[in-house]
Amino acid sequence: MAQTTAAKKVKFIITRQDQPDSASYTEEFELPYRPGMNVISALMEIQRNPVNNSGKQTTPVCWESNCLEEVCGACSMVINGKPRQACAALIDKLEQPIRVEPMKTFPVVRDLVIDRSRMFNALKRVKAWIPIDGTYDLGPGPRMPEKKRQWAYELSKCMTCGVCLEACPNVNEKTNFIGPAAISQVRLFNAHPTGEMNKEERLEALMEDGGIEGCGNSQNCVRSCPKGIPLTTSIAEMNKQTTKHMFKRWLSV
Amino acid sequence: MKGFYSRKLHSLLGVIPLGFFILEHMLTNFSAVEGGAQGFKDSVAFLNGLPLVLILEIFGIFLPLLYHAVYGLYIAFQAKPNNGRFRNERNLRYLLQRVTGVIVLVFVIWHLYETRFQVAVGNVTHEQLGSVMHDIVLNPVFFILYVIGVLSASFHFANGLWSFLVSWGVTVGPRAQRVSSKICMGLFVIVSIMFVWSLFAFRNAEFQAGGEAMLQTLRTFIG
């Protein structure tokens, strides 16, 4: 430690919450700067030495993270006002003091740990999977054209991180909007040659309450997606397909 | 009704018939610029000479307006704007669409009370509407409120048309949405200019009411 005391410091203001239903508060931390550090490594530092700015021993800050390379979606938090992945938030590129908050669109479990269950429930609702009978060999499925595979691959990068829901002004406690991520997944699974065989089921799920009608076109989602997924294109495409499906259903009975 | 269909209906009614109505209203008003008091009287007479005019008003304006307003308020108050955190143009338009919607609702109720309602209860005739407007817009406060009202209505219509194109899956990709954005914002400018220009035209002395007796009648409801 001796060689770093004279060096640069990094200041954090972290929004903390002890219990899911208790009030939140902020706590400040000052850490020695290390080259290449990011928000996760800073949180690890606090975990090793949980002493706050006023020199008092405190409980270590809780957070969630897994892959540390922006592919798992676990470490989403609001950093300097923007929801993003903490593992990709390099200290060198952040303005100080660095404000770290949980994504409060989701229920807060503790400190920066949030419960993203609603996203997984939304995926279940829209049937974001390819149903295949695994009891016997069905042989090879239909082939996917390469051109389609290329854009579908972009959609498949979704890691259910919840950043788009945090950015969306229509995902809040007053609505039951499922959010942009699940809508884009319908487009992905409806593009799959085998998934396409059940496309009506997914479109109808989007036409249920809290479905695609919840979009208000603020387009914050596409601007904040850490994976650069064309979410608004997916939403507009699903608008088109649900509209078509609506007329088809009316006119075919 | 399920959310999907009620929202779709809200979106559709905003363009057909309400979008058409606002354009019609814009053109009728503009006859005050083009043809003066007589031109405006002729346009009003033409509209009221349409067959089944009351049916057209009820099913083409009042009922769609009522639905669009009530459901629109529901949408507006469900929003939780985050424009401080996400400063981008589309997000600003998202907020403005909701704010202007509420402003337009208040403005339309006020404007309807001063014009169509007074005609309905027999306080003024269609021919006198030009002078009614003249007296309103000569009041500087009312004039500013009217300018705010027509600007809000123009924006709400033009931006609503943009989001209608997205919500019905007409403009899908980012380029299409960018181009339609420019067209719709151009439309906003044109519609605004025409409405505000007409408001200025109504300030012209030629719209003044004929006799002192009628001014007396007008004062009772303009204040």
Task: Name the helix (H) or strand (E) containing A12.
Answer: strand A9-16
In a domain, A1, yes or no: no
CATH number, position A55: 3.10.20.30
Give the tens place of pLDDT for each residue, A90-124. Answer: 999 999 999 999 999 999 999 999 999 999 999 99
Q: Does A170 touch chain B (CB under 8 A)?
A: yes
In a domain, A60, yes or no: yes
> What's the pTM value of the predicted model, to 2 decimals?
0.92
At which residue do the structure tokens 């295949």 appear? A132
Of A114, A148, A166, the last residue of a domain is A114
Distances (CA, A) of B78 to A39, A178, A187, B67, B75: 34, 14, 26, 17, 5
Answer yes or no: do B2 and A170 touch at CB < 8 A.
no
Confidence of residue A166 (pLDDT cuts 50, 70, 90): very high
Provide the domain limits for residue A31: 9-114
C-alpha distance from B48 to closest chain A C-alpha (Å)? 36
Give the DSSP letter string of A53-71.
TTS-B-PPPP---SSSSSS
**What does the block give as tokens for A252?**
């075919």
Of A51, A81, A114, the last residue of a domain is A114
Of A90, A114, A138, the last residue of a domain is A114
At which residue do the structure tokens 């001063």 appear? B114
Give the tens place of pLDDT for each residue, A173-192. Answer: 999 999 999 999 999 999 99
**What does the block give as tokens for A120?**
């997984």
Give the DSSP letter string of chain B.
--HHHHHHHHHHHHHTTHHHHHHHHHHHHHHHHHHHHHHHHHHHHHHHTSTTHHHHHIIIIIHHHHHHHHHHHHHHHH----TTT---HHHHHHHHHHHHHHHHHHHHHHHHHHTHHHHHTTSS-GGGHHHHHHHHHHSHHHHHHHHHHHHHHHHHHHHHHHHHHHHTTSS-SHHHHHHHHHHHHHHHHHHHHHHHHHHHHHTSGGG--S-HHHHHHHHHHH-
Task: Name the helix (H) or strand (E) containing A15.
Answer: strand A9-16
C-alpha distance from A83 to closest chain B C-alpha (Å)? 10
In a domain, A4, yes or no: no
Q: Does B1 touch chain A (CB under 8 A)?
A: no
**pLDDT at residue A206 greater than cutoff 90:** yes
A110 lies in the same domain as A147: no
Q: Does B76 touch chain A (CB under 8 A)?
A: no
Q: Does B177 touch chain A (CB under 8 A)?
A: yes
Position B217 scores a pLDDT of 55
Distance of CA A212 to the CA centre of its chain: 18
What distance in Å separates the CA atoms of residue A175 and residue A118, rounded to the nearest whole number?
A: 13
Quick one: CA torsion of A224, A225, A230, A235, rounded to 10 degrees?
-80
Question: Per residue of chain B (223 residues), what is the pLDDT tens digit?
Answer: 579 999 999 999 999 999 999 999 999 999 999 999 999 999 999 999 999 999 999 999 999 999 999 999 999 999 999 999 999 999 999 999 999 999 999 999 999 999 999 999 999 999 999 999 999 999 999 999 999 999 999 999 999 999 999 999 999 999 999 999 999 999 999 999 999 999 999 999 888 876 444 555 555 556 5
Position B2 scores a pLDDT of 76
CA dihedral sign of residues B71, B73, B74, B75: positive
A27 lies in the same domain as A107: yes
What distance in Å separates the CA atoms of residue A3 and residue B35, rounded to the nearest whole number?
A: 85
A123 lies in the same domain as A244: yes
Q: Determine contact, residues B200/B207, Cβ cutoff 8 Å.
A: no
Angle between helical axes of A231-251 and A180-191 (0-180°, round to 10): 70
A20 lies in the same domain as A84: yes
Position A4 scores a pLDDT of 47
A131 lies in the same domain as A241: yes
A212 lies in the same domain as A136: yes
**pLDDT at residue A167 greater than cutoff 50:** yes
A205 lies in the same domain as A234: yes
Interface test with B, best of A80, A175, A204, A217 (most B CBs within 10 A): A217
| ipTM score | 0.91
A28 lies in the same domain as A124: no
A30 lies in the same domain as A125: no
Q: Determine contact, residues A182/A119, Cβ cutoff 8 Å.
A: yes
**pLDDT at residue A2 greater than cutoff 70:** no
In a domain, A2, yes or no: no
Position A202 scores a pLDDT of 98
- In chain B, the domains with their CATH numbers are 3-222 (1.20.1300.10)
In a domain, A64, yes or no: yes
Secondary structure letter of residue A86 according to DSSP:
G
- Compare all CA atoms of chain A with the CA of B173 and give the residue at the minimum distance: A233
CATH number, position A152: 1.10.1060.10
**Percent of the residues in chain A that have a pLDDT greater than 90, as a whole number:** 94
Position A220 scores a pLDDT of 97
A84 lies in the same domain as A167: no
Size (chain B), residues: 223
A130 lies in the same domain as A247: yes
A104 lies in the same domain as A140: no
The count of structural domains within chain A is 2
In a domain, A16, yes or no: yes
Q: Considering CB atoms only, which of B75, B163, B172 is closest to A240?
A: B172
In a domain, A240, yes or no: yes
Question: Is residue A110 helix, strand or coil?
Answer: strand
Q: Determine contact, residues A202/A170, Cβ cutoff 8 Å.
A: no
Position B212 scores a pLDDT of 44
